[in-house]
Structure 1
Amino acid sequence: MKEKQQTIDRLTGDFIAYLKSINRSQSTIEGYSYSWGKLKAYMSTRNITVFSKDIVEEFLTFLFGEYSYQTLLPGQKRMINELLALGEFQDEGRIVRSFKIPPKVFDGSIGEYILDYIAYRKAAFNSAERTIISYHHHLHVFLSFLRTKGVDDIQKITQSVVYSFIESLDKNKLATKCIMAGMLKNFFTYLSDIKKIPNCLIIIPPQVNYKQSPRLPSTFTKDEISTLLHCVDRANPRGKRDYAILLLAVKLGMRSSDIMGLRFENILWDKNLIKFTQRKTGKDITLPLMPEIGNAIIDYFKYGRQESKEDFCFLQAVSPYSPMKYGEVGSLTQQHLARSGINLRGRKHGPHALRHSFASQLLDQKTPLPIISEAMGHSRTQSTMTYLRIDSDTLRQCALEVPSIPFSFYPKRGGNL
């Protein structure tokens, strides 16, 4: 789309009018205006009046240099989001998406090779969306490192550059190092296979000695789950939506991706069932539509969900009321757990912990493992066996007393063998 020619004052004025039209608060508008004021001052010193996306990028580089979004402070991230939203509004006339993380740019020949490789992984291995997102993230980190070293061509990537990159990663995050080393190894193998680099130049990343230790799943007790649900303010549209989402997680053990992707057609009201295909496993699953869950969903549909042509059950709580995106179910879960006052120390507090809690409650009810496996939607019973480790009461019943060794066991007095 060809960029419109607008002065910064005209564009921000139109944007503020738009924010008011979708009922954004005055504090939100003031936050946007503060960030835009910084940009205006920068443009004024350079006698620039016409807005462009390039001037935003130039200004961000002026402020933060070659920055990594993830390492910035919350206020800095918010400023970036509000400045990038200007370009989106200029193109579309509305806020189309949330700029929680700026779009990753894969520029130069190396960037093109990375994008080709990710497309190859998606087509050849039918990789899941989360896997593709992971490749985008990790390989973009590598590309950003190469930029700082002035490496702009595949042939300039040497073994020492790759070793230096791996060493630059956080030493306390061995899992990240291990994942990155594996991705780079696959990437360089791909380049060799398509003859972009000769076999003799294949880079072998350093081996990262990392062995994941099995961890007990984080769970919440029945009373804690009750506290969580009671803390949700169901008097407003967002609360009605969040309450229904949390019920699906704690009462049925649904994954966040399946909750996010639930459509009208998946709820069989006449049969009191929820039927869908799991995103993670591709397995069809049928779950009971309990009255408590059904009533919460109806309450949201009637009094909380905005009118939309989308057939997804749950929408974003702010305009333009698009389908929920990856990570939003996790965010709302963490927010409500934080407000509930539950002690979260030493426990994960995302939607998967609620799924673990669902399995824990089934164990407490002496539910057979195959039935738990079916309810969780696991493809293999072995996947469900990890939850046996959290059933401490049953494990105690399995403990055997160690009998004392009879004195006659020893051939001589004094215990000598």
Structure 2
Amino acid sequence: MLEFYFSYRGVLKRLRDGALGAEMDRIAGHFFSLGYKQASAKLYLSRIARFSRFAAAHCGSRPIGEAIVDSYLCTFTTDSPRIAAVSALQRARRVVPERFIALTPIVVDDPDAPLLSSFSDYLSRVRGLEPRSRAGVLLGARRFLDWLRHRHPGQDLEALTAEHVLAAVEYRLSLSATSGTRTAAISHIRTFLRFLHWAGHHEQDLAPVVPRTPYWRLAHLPPRLSWDDVRRAIDAIGKATPIDLRDRAVLLLLATTGIRNGELRALQLRDIDWRTGEVFVRRTKGKRDRVAPLMEETGAALADYILRARPKVDSQHLFLSFTPPVGPFKYASSVSRIVRKRLQHGGIELGRVGGAHLLRHSLATQLVGRRRPINEVADLLGHQSINTTALYVKVAASQLAEVALPFPGGAA
């Protein structure tokens, strides 16, 4: 496999020397299978080969210990090459872990680990929360336990009282800056207390003790862009490079279907029904599959991306990252960066909100402004409750003016 990247016999011989020499072809195959660019793969292989020769001089053919790795990294006097070497060695460890002596994990005694593990299982199996939502509630529970241990060291959960709960709530509220974070923090404490009673850790359900904080969901306007702004940003994307074709398809799909960031990242090739012009959105936030219409322009952009730009790798995900290792987007921030970059290139000034959800808000606002039935908008967005969609009615100023009552004493 090394011959795919290097042609000179002397270079190939040097690459196959050293402690990792017998595994270098396997490592090269790993880079090839992940779609690394040839220049990037050659750079990584050269760095790994340099370490391989160093390790051979210090440990021969024996498994490579951490002392050898540390000694090698100490040969670098500046940060940049040291960081590059660490990155290369991480990839070598991933492919040939048997050639390295495994690190002995440091076990940190966490007294709350069994309880939080049981709580996580409760949130998953009983409450049916998704991993991201579950992580937020678990963090709230850990903060509650940390507060309890700091303020009342050595106290068992069985001795928890309403006074303790109210004091913990007061402390959490003092650290929250917005009504949304306050509501979330209080909800997490309430959920944890309900679990303690359900699991038998406390004989009394203390959840009703937690006060409710005022939070008016419809008190603000959703961040949104006009369709002219969205259109200008999409038209500003060229078609010269594969990245341009992918980003154009991403923005068009977000702007015309209103799908969420996670839903877009989860889309697979089989989810596009070209004959009926539909996008099948699986396992949504509300745990229901739904179908979104595929507009003609969006379908054409998707076809252009799939046929001309999509990397030829063994992945069924629709949208792929072009940065090695080539594969599906793992994080929401990757898609958000694409959206922000393209909107800014289109001359749109963005505040704190500027990711995929901004396009979702903009589509909903546009549809309401065009007098589409509110239940139709709710179905498109995948809202379980019509009250969630009602937020967008507030931005339809012309329609609200029509239902305003006449001023008392004014002209009829």
Q: Which residue in 2 is equivalent to 1:360? A: 365
Deviation at 1:267, TM superposition (A): 0.9
CA contact 1:264–1:311 (8 Å) conserved in 2: yes
CA contact 2:282–2:288 (8 Å) conserved in 1: yes
Q: Which residue in 2 is equivalent to 1:212? A: 216
- The answer to whether 1:322 aligns with 2:327 is yes
Between stretches 263-272 and 179-188, larger displacement belongs to 179-188
Distance 1:50 1:119, change over 3 A: farther
Q: Which residue in 2 is equivalent to 1:92? A: 94
1:8-23 mapped onto 2 (5 Å cutoff)? 22-23=36-37
Deviation at 1:93, TM superposition (A): 3.7
Distance 1:399 1:162, change over 3 A: closer
Distance 1:157 1:325, change over 3 A: farther
- The answer to whether 1:113 aligns with 2:127 is no
- The answer to whether 1:402 aligns with 2:394 is no
1:295-334 mapped onto 2 (5 Å cutoff)? 295-327=300-332, 328-334=334-340
State which of 184, 187, 191 in structure 2 corresponds to 1:182: 187
CA contact 2:182–2:213 (8 Å) conserved in 1: no
Unaligned runs of at least 5 residues, structure 1: 1-9, 34-47, 53-80, 95-104, 407-417
Deviation at 1:203, TM superposition (A): 9.3
Q: Which residue in 1 is equivalent to 2:345? A: 339
1:121-132 mapped onto 2 (5 Å cutoff)? 121-132=123-134
Between stretches 112-121 and 300-309, larger displacement belongs to 300-309
1:164-313 mapped onto 2 (5 Å cutoff)? 166-167=171-172, 170-195=175-200, 197-199=201-203, 207=211, 209-214=213-218, 215-277=220-282, 279-313=284-318
SS at match of 2:275: helix
Between stretches 396-405 and 198-207, larger displacement belongs to 198-207
Q: Which residue in 2 is equivalent to 1:40? A: none
Identity %: 21
Provide Cα deviations, 1:12-31, integer angstroms capped at 9, x if missing partner: xx9xx9999934999xx9xx
CA contact 2:368–2:396 (8 Å) conserved in 1: yes
Larger relative contact order, structure 1 or 2 (CA cutoff 8 Å, min sep 6): 2
Distance 1:156 1:120, change over 3 A: closer
Deviation at 1:279, TM superposition (A): 0.8
With normalisation by structure 1, the TM-score equals 0.65
With normalisation by structure 2, the TM-score equals 0.66
Kindly provide the amino acid, as one letter, of the partner of residue 319 in structure 1.
P
CA contact 1:166–1:181 (8 Å) conserved in 2: no
Kindly provide the amino acid, as one letter, of the partner of residue 368 in structure 1.
P
SS at match of 1:209: coil
SS at match of 1:108: coil
Provide Cα deviations, 1:333-373, integer angstroms capped at 9, x if missing partner: 2333333331335x732222211211222233332333333
Unaligned runs of at least 5 residues, structure 2: 1-18, 48-65, 71-82, 97-106
Q: 2 CA distance for matches of 1:146 and 1:335?
A: 44
Q: 2 CA distance for matches of 1:152 and 1:243?
A: 58
CA contact 1:276–1:284 (8 Å) conserved in 2: yes
CA contact 2:245–2:305 (8 Å) conserved in 1: yes
Q: 1 CA distance for matches of 2:85 and 2:189?
A: 33
Deviation at 1:123, TM superposition (A): 0.9
Between stretches 347-356 and 165-174, larger displacement belongs to 165-174
Q: 2 CA distance for matches of 1:370 and 1:201?
A: 38
Provide Cα deviations, 1:236-267, integer angstroms capped at 9, x if missing partner: 33332222111111112222222111111111
Q: Which residue in 2 is equivalent to 1:377? A: 382
Deviation at 1:269, TM superposition (A): 1.5
CA contact 1:275–1:284 (8 Å) conserved in 2: yes
Distance 1:332 1:145, change over 3 A: farther
SS at match of 2:224: coil
Distance 1:112 1:360, change over 3 A: same
CA contact 1:244–1:293 (8 Å) conserved in 2: yes
CA contact 1:175–1:210 (8 Å) conserved in 2: no
Aligned length: 338
Kindly provide the amino acid, as one letter, of the partner of residue 369 in structure 1.
I
SS at match of 1:274: strand
RMSD of the TM alignment (CA)? Answer: 4.6
Distance 1:89 1:165, change over 3 A: farther
SS at match of 2:126: helix
CA contact 2:248–2:301 (8 Å) conserved in 1: yes
